[in-house]
Amino acid sequence: MRYRLPHERGTIAICPKSRATKSTQAKNVEHNDTQQAVTKTENAIQPGDAATRFVLIEPSHPGNVGAAARALKTMGFSRLILVRPRWPDVLQDPEAIAMASGADDVLAAAQCVQTLDEALAGVHWSIALSARSREYGPPVLTPRTAAETAAQMLAQPRTTAPDTSIALVFGNERTGLANHDVERCSAIAHIPANPAYTSLNLAQAIQVLAYELRVAYTAALSSPSSRGAAAAPGATSDEVEGMFQHLEKALTALDFFDPDNPKKLQSRLRRLFARAGLEREEVNILRGIAKHILLKIKP
């Protein structure tokens, strides 16, 4: 279900047609134009909602899931995906419903999946939320920069991939995101909280990012200059992951990569490609290289 952005509502007095003067008619036309412009902006933001999913990995408290649904709805979003929630019936849990506080529809529509791969299927750009610094991983951005990047991606006209999707990935309340989950994402967002007290609960972190996305999406929609020339279609998360697996097989066949002693090669390669922001055609080229390596050394 999609939600419209709230807007300031004014009262428009419409005079009976028989009494309407030219001045009043002109004002009515102006008011109608304003209403149409507002409606157009409201409807336009809906693709941002449909194209943006919030992914929670192994949430452990039903109340936090309900509060997350509330945070999404207040900012006009509705797509919530839970990966291996600790409570099997979390969507029907009384505490979750109570903490949703009117966002029961968002909570009821949430999806439960078993893997991050399922949650990111079809996603073109994903943001991992992490408070910890990582030795390796994708580029680190502020929430505002991450939101602006997401808005620019959604605003770009696509030649063959109009359904660009964005995902925000949040970890477990106690342990956060594992390194391999972070490395599956395109970027890391770090909330610059008070260094003396950085503790944010899950719903608060979601609220911060949802707000920044709302601001960035609204600004992109109202700025014609944000829409550039048609961009080449970006690769989806699952397409990039398939390329990594294909490339790993080729490097293993060349004895360049040892699966039993991988060291940091995989992490470095993932960071390199995350920084590049691969297009679909580039992924196809890399897979073609991997395919021919495997064919050449095949006994």
Whether the pLDDT of residue 258 is over 60: the answer is yes
Whether the pLDDT of residue 206 is over 90: the answer is yes
* pTM (predicted TM-score): 0.69
CA distance 252 to 244: 12
CATH 1.10.8.590 positions along the chain are 237-297
Whole-number average pLDDT of the chain: 79
CA distance 184 to 27: 54
CA distance 244 to 127: 19
State the pLDDT at residue 188. Answer: 93
CA distance 160 to 104: 36
Percent of the chain whose pLDDT exceeds 70:
78
CATH 3.40.1280.10 positions along the chain are 47-226
Write the CATH number of the domain with boundaries 47-226.
Answer: 3.40.1280.10
- Look-up: residue for tokens 């080449």? 232
pLDDT by residue (tens digit) across 43-82? 434 447 889 999 999 999 999 999 999 999 999 999 999 9
Helix, strand, coil % in the chain, rounded to nearest 5 = 50, 10, 35
Q: What is the mean pLDDT of residues 26-30?
A: 44
pLDDT band at 139 (very low <50, low <70, confident <90, very high): confident
pLDDT by residue (tens digit) across 156-166? 765 444 577 89
CA distance 49 to 77: 5
Whether the pLDDT of residue 237 is over 70: the answer is yes
CA distance 97 to 233: 39
Whether the pLDDT of residue 177 is over 90: the answer is yes
Write the CATH number of the domain with boundaries 237-297.
Answer: 1.10.8.590
- How far is the CA of 107 from the CAs of 22, 97, 172, in angstroms? 51, 8, 18
**Chain centroid to CA 120:** 9
pLDDT by residue (tens digit) across 116-130? 999 999 898 999 998
CA-atom Rg of the chain in angstroms: 23
Sign of the CA dihedral with 207 first, then 68, 178, and 137 last: negative
